[in-house]
Amino acid sequence: MSRTTIALLSTYPPTQCGLATFTAALYEQLRRAPGHVGVVRVLDGHAEGQAGREVVAELMNGSRVSAAAAVVTLNNYDAVIVQHEYGIYGGPDGADILEIVEALTVPTIVVLHTVLLDPTPRQRQILQGLVNAADAVVTMAETARHRLVEQYGVDPTHLTVIPHGAIDHRRVRAPRTASPRPLVLTWGLLGPGKGIEWAIDAMVGLRDLSPRYLVVGKTHPKVLERDGEEYRRSLAVRVRERGVADLVQIDASYLGLSELADLVERADVVLLPYDSPDQVTSGVLIEAVAAGRPVVATAFPHAVELLAGGSGLIVEQRDPEALASALRRVLTEPGLADQMASRAARQAPALVWEAVAQRYRSLAASLVAAGLVAAS
C-alpha cells in the first residue's frame, strides 16, 4: 500500500487562501513517497492564474459539467482527501460539495478546517452530510474532535486528529540577530474577527519597550469581495488615533513558505489576538509553536489546547490591557521566553509537514486496504 495514489480536492495556489497554502504544503510532502498525487483545484467562477502540472483537473463552482468531470477524475485515484471550509465550494454555505463527495466511489477522507460551535441548520446539515459520506474525518485538534462527538453526535471511531502542519524550522533556522526593538508578529489573511484592533490598542501600554508590531497579510478574498478594504482602513485609522504609528506596521504582503520561515524566526513573540470562539484550527499558531517562538494568544479553542503545556500565554479576548501585560511578561521577564521556546521545541516534531503527511498517507493506505479486504 506504499504506492497508494491520492487526489487532493481543495483551493490551490496561485489562489491565496489558507486552504490553498495548506494543500500546497501537504502535496509537497505527499509526493515524496511512492504513488502518484494529483490536485483537483477549486475555482470560484474564474481561473486565478496558471497552476502547476500537479493540478490534474479544476472544479469550477456553479458548473455541473465541471463537477461531474471532477468526480470522474477523483474516482481514478485510490483515495481522495477533501479539504472543507464553508464557502469554498459553490452553493449556499458551500453546499455543492455534498453532491460531489456522495458521488465518490473510492475511500474518501474529509478534513474539517472549521467545526462551528453554533452552526445554522444548513451548516449543520452540510457537515453531517460530509461526515456520513466520508470513510474517515480528520480534525486538527482534540477540541474539534470533542465538539463533533458531543454536539454533532459523530461516532468517535470515525474521527482522526492530525495537526495542521508547519515548516520544519530545524532545517531552515538561521542565527537570530539582536535588535534594539523587540519584534511582535501577527500574520495571516486579514478580516473582522482577527482582533488586530485590540492588539493595536495594546501597543499604547508598551511604548516604553518601543516594540515593533508587524501585521503581515492580505485581506481575505471573501472579505475583500464583500467589504473591500474597509477593515484594513479601519485599522490604519485606529493606529493614527491611538498615536502608535511609530510602533505598528500593517503590511499587505502574502508570504511564501521560505519568506514566512525567515520572518517567524526573527520574531521575539507571535501575537494571536483572535476574537472567534470557533477557531479550532490555526495554521499561524501551529507555525509559531513549531518555530519555537513564544506565543501570546487570546482564549480561542485551538490556542487553549495547544498552549496548555506552557509554550504560550493565554488571555481573555477583546482585552488590550491583558494583551499588553502578557506581552510585557514575555519581553521582560527573565527566562520566560526561553522556557516557552523549550516547551514549544518538544511539540515541534509532531507538527512538521513531513510527520503530518505521513499520517495522511497511512490513513489513506489503511482505508484502501480495508476496502480491498471487504471486496475480496
Instruction: Please say whether the dihedral angle defined by the alpha carbons of residues 303, 309, 312 and 314, taken in this order, is positive or negative.
Output: positive
Measure CA 355 to chain center: 16
Q: What residues does 41 pair with on adjacent strands?
A: 10, 58
Residue 15 has pLDDT above 90, yes or no: no
Question: Cβ(198)–Cβ(273) under 8 Å?
Answer: yes
pLDDT band at 352 (very low <50, low <70, confident <90, very high): very high
Three-state secondary structure call for residue 91: coil
Q: Which residues of the chain are in CATH 3.40.50.2000 domains?
A: 6-165+352-375, 169-350
Residue 228 has pLDDT above 80, yes or no: yes
- Residue 17 is predicted with a pLDDT of 84
| pTM of the full structure | 0.89
pLDDT band at 254 (very low <50, low <70, confident <90, very high): confident
- Residue 136 is predicted with a pLDDT of 98
CB atoms within 10 A of CB 21: 22
Question: Cβ(95)–Cβ(101) under 8 Å?
Answer: no
Question: Cβ(37)–Cβ(364) under 8 Å?
Answer: no
* Residue given cell 459553490 in the structure block: 90
pLDDT single digits (tens) 259-303: 888 899 899 999 999 998 888 989 999 999 999 999 999 999 999
Q: What residues does 235 pair with on adjacent strands?
A: none
- Residue 367 is predicted with a pLDDT of 97
pLDDT single digits (tens) 68-127: 999 999 999 999 999 999 989 999 999 999 999 999 999 999 999 999 999 999 999 999
Q: 169-350 is classed in which CATH architecture? A: 3-Layer(aba) Sandwich (3.40)
- Residue 1 is predicted with a pLDDT of 42
Residue 165 has pLDDT above 70, yes or no: yes
Mean pLDDT in residue range 17-37: 93
Question: Cβ(292)–Cβ(167) under 8 Å?
Answer: no
pLDDT single digits (tens) 172-211: 555 555 568 999 999 998 999 999 999 999 999 999 999 9
CB atoms within 10 A of CB 214: 18
Mean pLDDT, the chain, whole residue set: 93
Among candidate residues 147, 161, 109, the one with its CA nearest the CA of residue 131: 109
| CA–CA separation, 316 and 349 (whole Å) | 29
Question: Cβ(130)–Cβ(314) under 8 Å?
Answer: no
Residue 170 has pLDDT above 90, yes or no: no
Among candidate residues 234, 260, 238, the one with its CA nearest the CA of residue 247: 238
* Phi, psi dihedrals of residue 78, rounded to the nearest 5°: -70, -35
* Phi, psi dihedrals of residue 46, rounded to the nearest 5°: -160, 155
Sheet holding 248-251, edge to edge: 248-251, 212-216, 183-187, 269-272, 295-298, 312-315
Among candidate residues 121, 273, 112, the one with its CA nearest the CA of residue 200: 273
Residue 372 has pLDDT above 80, yes or no: no
* Residue given cell 465541471 in the structure block: 66
Mean pLDDT in residue range 155-163: 97
Q: Is the domain covering 6-165+352-375 a CATH 3.30.470.20 domain?
A: no
Mean pLDDT in residue range 30-38: 93
